[in-house]
Amino acid sequence: MSQKILQIQTSTNGENSFSNQLSNAVIEKLKAANPSSTVQTLDLSKTPLPYLTGSHISAVYAPAETHSEEQKSALKYSDEAIESLLQADVIVIGVPLYNFGIPAVLKGWIDQVARAGKTFSYADGSPKGLVNDKKVYLSIASGAIFSEGPYKSYDFSESYLRTVFAFLGMTDVTTFRVEGTAIPDFAENALPKALSSVEEFAF
């Protein structure tokens, strides 16, 4: 079965990035399971989306026929990001843990795709996600170990992403982690262990 895969990269470390290497492994397994799949890669470290502005916010809540050129321009990035998200069957996101949370460029992308009337709605009086039937894979990389132990409560990346994606309608989320990359006793085996978890996963 052919699938459209949206790969989102957010690390500034390029090919040396642990989160990129892990997400690439996920992509390869997905393509092996579905050889006719296509991949659209969005590297936010190279082409970040603009952060929200007053023009964007005013345009969201104003009728389209009243939009100024400035408002139309402000919504262009949001429209394109939402279209890519809606067209995808699978979303694979590389997430380096920066200061206990997600990179600013990933938050910028989320702010552009989380849009009332497009990806969520309050039409029935309660929130309803409009982005349905998607599979999400998170590839989280961290220098310390956050999946367990004393630093587990310091990780605000996975919990935040699962919350916002569920709000938008995406509840089928799987997380892979490469962690301990800055700890001498764990660093050497950190990536091989993470890649092994991908290899053993039933896609």
- CA 136 vs. chain centroid, Å, equals 8
Query: What is the average per-residue pLDDT within 2-19?
Result: 95
Looking at residue 61, its pLDDT comes to 85
pTM score, two decimals? 0.95
CB 95 within 8 A of CB 102: yes
CB 114 within 8 A of CB 28: no
Residue 45 confidence class, pLDDT cut points 50, 70, 90: very high
Looking at residue 29, its pLDDT comes to 96
Top-confidence residue, 72 or 179: 179
Looking at residue 99, its pLDDT comes to 96
**Spatial distance between the Cα atoms of 33 and 53, rounded to a whole number of angstroms:** 41
Tokens of 176: 């892979």
Looking at residue 60, its pLDDT comes to 87
User: What SS3 class is residue 148?
Assistant: coil
CB 3 within 8 A of CB 39: no
Q: Is the predicted pLDDT of residue 82 greater than 90, yes or no?
A: yes
**Spatial distance between the Cα atoms of 151 and 145, rounded to a whole number of angstroms:** 7
In eight-state DSSP terms, residue 14 is: G
Q: Give helix 69-87 / helix 104-113 axis angle, nearest 10°.
A: 100
